[in-house]
Amino acid sequence: MLSFDLHKRKFLTVFLLLLFAWSLMGVNWQEGVMHSSGISTAGEIFAAMFTPDLSMDILLLAAESSWLTLAYATAGMSLALILALIFGILASGVLSSGKRSRTLMKGSFRGVLGFMRAIHELVWAWLFVASFGLSPYAAIFALAIPYGGILGRIFADMINDVPEEPIKALRATGASRLQCLFYGYLPSVKNSMISYTMYRYECAVRSSAIMSFVGLGGLGYQIQLSLDDLHYDEVWTFLYFLIILVVIIDGWSNMLRRRMAQ
């Protein structure tokens, strides 16, 4: 049976490779792949990588935009965490007693979480900007909803993967479902929840930067303005600030993880 499956997988690989080769024939290689001055523009952009604009006002602007980007990401993530905890715990089904109510609860809340993350944060941003205008709330909600959906889904899976024995033992000491949640499930998954949330926070900073292309201010917005003015050196200043942000958060998350491991 297994060898048959492996066989099938090889067929699939070959099929996909052939499909890819065939798709290459669909490309018009003469024109359309790159516009005429594309290569020289790309050269200019990457040359600017080594000469970022380090003048005082650009640095200040970059620092301010980084702060804004970080603030959106942090606020969005905090809200996402609250949403994820509530919906994630409900979607894990550990609070319901009967088998049928558990299936119902799992199904419906997993559905809600699926809806939240099916729509990309950029699309949520468009929708919220269209309804709220260019306000920080648009950015925060646009981040919080899909990230809440992603985190909630993962939290629910983590809770469902908690080993059964300690939970059964808690039930035997007379603990209610809610008491089991706080004494069994949550302590067991706390560390993985924190490290996954930190990873998602890092993603949220990147998303927040991208989202400001919509016009919400922040690093992405500045990158767009500088690109439009063909100031590639400024673009790189902003990009370096973004990289620094992500590296700092990664360092923080490593620190947290090391402390939790003790």
Partner 1 sequence: MSEKNIIEINQISKNYERKIALSSLSFVVEKGELIALIGPSGAGKTTLLNLLASILEADSGELLVDGKPMSQFSDQKKRAKKIGIIRQQFDLVGQLPVIHNVLAGRLADWGFFKSLFNLFIPQERQEATTALKRVGLPDKLYERTSNLSGGEQQRVALARLLMQKPEIILADEPVASLDPARADDVLDMLTKLAKEEHQTVIASLHSVDYARKYFTRLIALKNGKLFFDLPADQVTDKQLEELYQLKELS
Q: Are the beta carbons of 147 and 125 closer than 8 angstroms?
A: no
**How far is Cα 240 from Cα 252, in angstroms, rounded to an integer?**
18
Please report how close the Cβ of residue 97 comes to partner 1 at its closest, in angstroms. 10
Question: Using CB under 8 A, which of 3, 30, 40, 173 touches partner 1?
Answer: 173
Please report how close the Cβ of residue 108 comes to partner 1 at its closest, in angstroms. 24
CA distances from 251 to 75, 76, 199, 229, 257 (A): 20, 20, 11, 34, 10
Please report how close the Cβ of residue 249 comes to partner 1 at its closest, in angstroms. 24
Amino acid identity, residue 224?
Answer: Q
Where does residue 220 rank: exposed (0-12), middle (13-18), buried (19+ CB within 10 A)? buried
Angle at 118 between CA 112 and CA 119, to 5 degrees: 110
The number of C-alpha atoms within 13 Å of 30 and in the hemisphere containing its C-beta is 0
Residues of span 179-208 touching partner 1 by CB under 8 A: 179, 182-184, 187-188, 190-191
Q: Could you say whether residue 174 binds partner 1 (CB under 8 A)?
A: yes
**Interacting stretch for partner 1, rule CB under 8 A, among 2-10, 61-69, 166-174, 202-210?**
166-174
Amino acid identity, residue 193?
Answer: M
Nearer to partner 1, 43 or 187 (CB): 187
Q: Could you say whether residue 99 binds partner 1 (CB under 8 A)?
A: no
Q: Could you say whether residue 163 binds partner 1 (CB under 8 A)?
A: yes
Question: Using CB under 8 A, which of 54, 176, 244, 257 touches partner 1?
Answer: 176
Please report how close the Cβ of residue 71 comes to partner 1 at its closest, in angstroms. 30
Where does residue 197 rank: exposed (0-12), middle (13-18), buried (19+ CB within 10 A)? buried
Binding residues for partner 1, total number by CB under 8 A: 20
Question: Using CB under 8 A, which of 170, 194, 225, 256 touches partner 1?
Answer: 170
Nearer to partner 1, 74 or 96 (CB): 96
Q: Could you say whether residue 114 binds partner 1 (CB under 8 A)?
A: no
> Following DSSP, what letter does each residue of 143-180 receive, concatenated?
HHHHHHHHHHHHHHHHHHTS-HHHHHHHHHTT--HHHH
Q: Could you say whether residue 171 binds partner 1 (CB under 8 A)?
A: yes
Nearer to partner 1, 114 or 187 (CB): 187
Alpha helices, H only, the chain:
2-24, 38-47, 56-92, 99-118, 121-132, 136-160, 164-172, 177-180, 186-211, 219-228, 232-261
Nearer to partner 1, 11 or 182 (CB): 182
Question: Using CB under 8 A, which of 118, 169, 230, 248 touches partner 1?
Answer: 169
**Which parts of this chain interact with partner 1 (CB under 8 A)?**
163, 165-166, 169-176, 178-179, 182-184, 187-188, 190-191
